[in-house]
Amino acid sequence: SQKIEQNSEALNIQEGKTATLTCNYTNYSPAYLQWYRQDPGRGPVFLLLIRENEKEKRKERLKVTFDTTLKQSLFHITASQPADSATYLCALDPGTGTASKLTFGTGTRLQVTL
Amino acid sequence: GAGVSQSPRYKVTKRGQDVALRCDPISGHVSLYWYRQALGQGPEFLTYFNYEAQQDKSGLPNDRFSAERPEGSISTLTIQRTEQRDSAMYRCASSLDSYNSPLHFGNGTRLTVT
């Protein structure tokens, strides 16, 4: 069966360090993968999209990698700040290249401390 | 509008009653999605529309759930004869199109069935 796995345990890191979050999937052949941020009581907010033919994507302090052989995406936040504390969700398309049925992982909660 | 608007923000209803949840997407967005999110989980796909056409309703749990978007803008998710297991956060999202455009989520409707 199809499965998306994100570390359910919270990730606690110190301010200024690099946070790395993992998204693993099985039985999917996604054309692209998206990362979202979700704060308590709010809807998810889009951060980055990476296509299957892209190895890496950057946006300011954020970096995403996509390894279709390992079936894994890594999400990095460099020089992390307390304001980065949130839950981060990865989402996969169903392989059709459309967002018709994005499937989300359970998310990983990141806590950045001073 | 500035973002996706959902109403009501909270809905408490008695078991067996019907409820209607409303979503007002970002103006000009072709695609509209309904998701359900349990506490500590990622959003779970329910259904989506392109314009007024319902493209995929495979995520609707059973025939008590229905959705419409008659004029290609505002959408309503209706749950008939509610049951306690229907209690959840219901989220609406919209996107420019159903290809690899990011989803813009509303803040959701928290449904509690007593």
Amino acid residing at B70: P
Q: How confident is the model at residue B34 (pLDDT cuts 50, 70, 90)?
A: very high
pLDDT, averaged across chain B: 95
Average pLDDT for A27-36:
88
Residues of A at the B interface, defined by Cβ within 8 angstroms: 4, 31-32, 34, 36, 41-46, 49, 51, 89, 91, 93, 97-107
Residue B77 φ then ψ, to 5°? -105, 120
Confidence band, pLDDT 50/70/90 cuts, at residue A27? confident
What percent of chain A is modeled with pLDDT above 70?
Answer: 95
The amino acid that residue B9 corresponds to is R
Q: Whole-angstrom Cα distance, residue A32 to residue B100?
A: 8
Cβ-nearest to B102 among A46, A103, A107: A46
Q: Is the pLDDT assigned to residue B35 strictly greater than 80?
A: yes
Report d(CA A14, CA A84) in Å as an integer. 11
Cα separation, B102 vs B111, whole angstroms: 26
Q: B87 pLDDT band (50/70/90 cuts)?
A: very high
Yes or no: say if A90 and A105 are a contact pair by the CB < 8 Å rule.
yes
- Interchain CB contact of B42 with A (< 8 Å): yes
| Residue B1: pLDDT over 70 | no
Considering only the beta carbons, identify the residue of B33, B42, B104 that sits closest to A89.
B42
- What contacts 24+ positions apart, CB below 8 Å, involve B62-69? B67/B34, B69/B32
pLDDT tens digit sequence for B43-61: 999 999 999 999 999 999 9
pLDDT of residue A100: 66
Which of B48, B91, B106 lies closest to A100 in CB terms?
Answer: B48
